[in-house]
Amino acid sequence: MNGQSRMSKYMANKALVIDDDKTTLELFEFQLRHEGYDVASAETGLRGLELATTNEFDVVLTDLNLPDINGIEMVKRSKALSPETEIIVVTGDASTERAVEAIREGARDYIVKPVDFEKLLIVIRNAVDAKHQAEINKQQAAEIAELRGRLSSRTSYEGLIGGSRSMQDIYEMIESVAESDANILILGESGTGKELIANAIHYKSHRSNRPFVKINCAALPKELIESQLFGHIKGSFTGAHTDKEGLVGQAKGGSLLLDEIGEMPAELQPKLLRLL
């Protein structure tokens, strides 16, 4: 991957580098900017915390041996300011004991000086990816909670009646599958509302303004069911005086309900399977 590709990929990512050694700080800044990061820097822990208070960073890269704040304390206070921000500690100690302690306090990983920048960039990328995934998970959890909150107050939904927890679960499932174009199997005893659920799925979907064709497979004459479903062309059999579009074709762009599909003749099921 060339520098331009890396830059476009990571342009939006923000990094904060904290180190009291100016040469190290400038080297980190150069490497990260080359990778497309928006970089802020600080030579003291207090300045780093000031920047973290007024900015949201994807990753903080901090030395463990700062002149004004203990490295472990720096991790704690950074996490308190922004729990979602990933922290990577850099240590010059031969012993990794303090680095491991920093991880227990919330740091994601540590790097030992002298720094292998190829390894460091991989660690930073993984940290940024983890933060972004955590944000996506948090957003999805909030959306699910909001959806459940809306559904839990309903006693009716698209023709369905019921306010129990099990009915709320059904409403939530309908909301979920209605957005999909996947085939859906609705099971239940006679009279439990399978067709009502099919109606709700169709009218909550992006196909709601398109045809909704319902076929009772048990009611179609066995000898005509294939023609009824798939249509025929003129002269294909005795009595076929004109071309006829089948019920499946009529549902194009919309929804097709195959009621009592288990009653369909076995010899026709392979053809229907190819359609589905």
pLDDT digit string, tens, across residues 163-210: 777 888 888 888 889 888 888 999 988 888 889 999 999 988 888 888
Segment 35-50, tens digit of pLDDT: 889 999 999 999 999 9
Residues pairing with 110 in the sheet: 89
Angle between the N-to-C axes of helices 117-152 and 165-178, in degrees from 0 to 180, rounded to the nearest 10:
130
144-to-84, 147, 157 alpha-carbon distances in Å: 20, 5, 18
Give the C-alpha separation, 40 to 195, whole Å. Answer: 59
Domains 3-136 and 210-276 agree in fold? yes
The residue count for the chain: 276
Q: Which amino acid is at 18?
A: I
Phi and psi of 249, rounded to 5°?
Answer: -65, -35
The CA angle 70-101-43, to the nearest 5 degrees, is 30
**pTM for the full model?**
0.51
As a whole number, the mean pLDDT across the chain is 82
pLDDT in tens, 68-126: 998 889 999 999 998 889 999 988 776 678 888 888 888 988 888 888 888 889 999 98
Going from N- to C-terminal start, the domains of the chain cover 3-136, 154-206, 210-276
When pLDDT is cut at 50, 70 and 90, the band that residue 220 belongs to is: confident
CB of 258 within 8 A of CB of 213? no
CA–CA distance, 83 with 120 (Å, rounded to integer): 22
Which tens digit of pLDDT belongs to each residue from 243-265? 777 778 888 888 988 888 877 77
CA distance 65 to 110: 13
**CATH class for the region spanning 3-136:** alpha beta
CATH architecture of the domain with range 210-276: 3-Layer(aba) Sandwich (3.40)
